[in-house]
Amino acid sequence: MPQLALFLSALVWGATFPATKAALADIPPFSFLTFRFLLGTLLVFGLFFAFGQRLRMDRRLLYISGVATVFLLLGYVTQTVGLQYTSASNSAFITALYVIFTPLYLGRFGGRIWLSAGLALAGLWLLVNPSVSVNVGDLLTLACAAAFAGHIACLETYTREGEPWAFFLWQMIFTTVLMIPAMAVEGPRADQLAPTLVVSLALFITGVLATGAFAVQIWVQQVLPAQQVALIFSLEPAYAAWLAWYFLGEQLDAQGWVGSGLIFAAVVLGSLAPQEALSEDEVRHSSLGTHKNGLPKSVPTNNG
């Protein structure tokens, strides 16, 4: 069931917030992202060839992988750098604004999806109780939310072009290749690259588990519309709060429980309704629906 798979993926994404925040105390952001994506790329490479798959390299596949990578890279860079300047709760709340950006990009304004998005945002606010002051980290994270929404919208079209797993692997490769020079410019000290327990655990969560969650997203977006995917992913901060409460003994007050309940209700309302699923005609149309510049029709372009 695609929705259940996304529920589990959101659990992994939720764990990446505290893991990344903790790791950034020991390692610079671009260095962390480089090792994260290098680990994930090696893992996917191993699985790809273990199953006897050949990696296609045609122009169209490389092009759409490059377009998706731009959104993916912008999302991760702005989120990770932003976490240095804002709290994990603010980052979780602002990142989840892709539940608003995604249907805006797609031009889908159904009442059900907007009611669900409104409930999710209200629940997120109650759950994380972010500060009302705005700093550079919050602005970077807002850019992250916009970029991730663009990536989700891209995947709706591009995963249906026939080679979703090669598309997935090329994104991992491109992101890793682009992060290496960024790490070189960052110039980390040798002691900052030491494999501490915190960094190693964070790399396992983000480089292994989150890569698996990304693979699940690639699979699911072949059958589910992008706005549903964004809505289910709004469970990330709720999962993070529940895990901290259960495993770390952190307090979750009544407001937090009400907020997480609203998020869950929003996901059930907006993502499990049968009329929100894409029909076969829509899937076919989506797989063909690209602008002349190669971007999916669901992603706005400067030239209209």
Q: Which residues pair with 296 in a beta bridge?
A: 290
Of 122, 68, 81, 80, the C-alpha closest to 99 is 122
Which region among 138-142, 155-159, 236-240 has the lowest average model confidence (pLDDT)? 236-240
Position 271 pLDDT exceeds 80? no
Of 246, 25, 239, 9, the C-alpha closest to 128 is 239
Q: Which of 37-41, 243-247, 271-275 has the highest mean pLDDT?
A: 37-41
What element of type H or E holds 2? helix 2-23
Q: Which residues pair with 290 in a beta bridge?
A: 296
Output 201 or 163, whichever has higher pLDDT: 201
Give per-residue pLDDT as tens, 109-136.
Answer: 677 777 877 887 888 788 767 666 667 8
How confident is residue 297, by pLDDT bands cut at 50, 70 and 90? very low
How confident is residue 281, by pLDDT bands cut at 50, 70 and 90? very low
Tokens standing for residue 5 = 């798979």
Rounded Cα distance, 147 and 75, in Å? 5
Output 107 or 23, whichever has higher pLDDT: 23
105 phi/psi in degrees, rounded to 5 = -60, -40
Q: Which pLDDT belongs to residue 280?
A: 45
User: CB under 8 Å, gap of 24 or more: what pairs does 271-276 form?
Assistant: 271/3, 271/6, 271/116, 271/224, 271/228, 271/231, 271/232, 272/3, 273/112, 276/110, 276/112, 276/113, 276/225, 276/227, 276/228
Rounded Cα distance, 256 and 129, in Å? 8
Q: Which residue has the tokens 């510049």?
A: 293
Cβ atoms 225, 28 nearer than 8 A = no
First to last CA, the chain: 36
Position 299 pLDDT exceeds 70? no
Q: Which pLDDT belongs to residue 292?
A: 37
Q: Which pLDDT belongs to residue 36?
A: 96
The DSSP line for 21-63 is HHHTTTS-HHHHHHHHHHHHHHHHHHHHHHTT------HHHHH
**pLDDT above 70: percentage of residues in the chain:** 81
Q: Where are the domains of the chain?
A: 2-288
Q: Which pLDDT belongs to residue 7?
A: 83
Output 180 or 269, whichever has higher pLDDT: 180
* Mean pLDDT score across all residues of the chain: 81
Q: Which of 52-61, 67-76, 150-159, 243-252 has the highest mean pLDDT?
A: 67-76
Give per-residue pLDDT as tens, 35-87.
Answer: 999 999 999 999 988 888 888 889 999 999 999 999 999 999 998 898 888 77
What element of type H or E holds 126? helix 111-128
Give per-residue pLDDT as tens, 163-184.
Answer: 899 999 999 999 999 999 999 9
CB atoms within 10 A of CB 139: 15
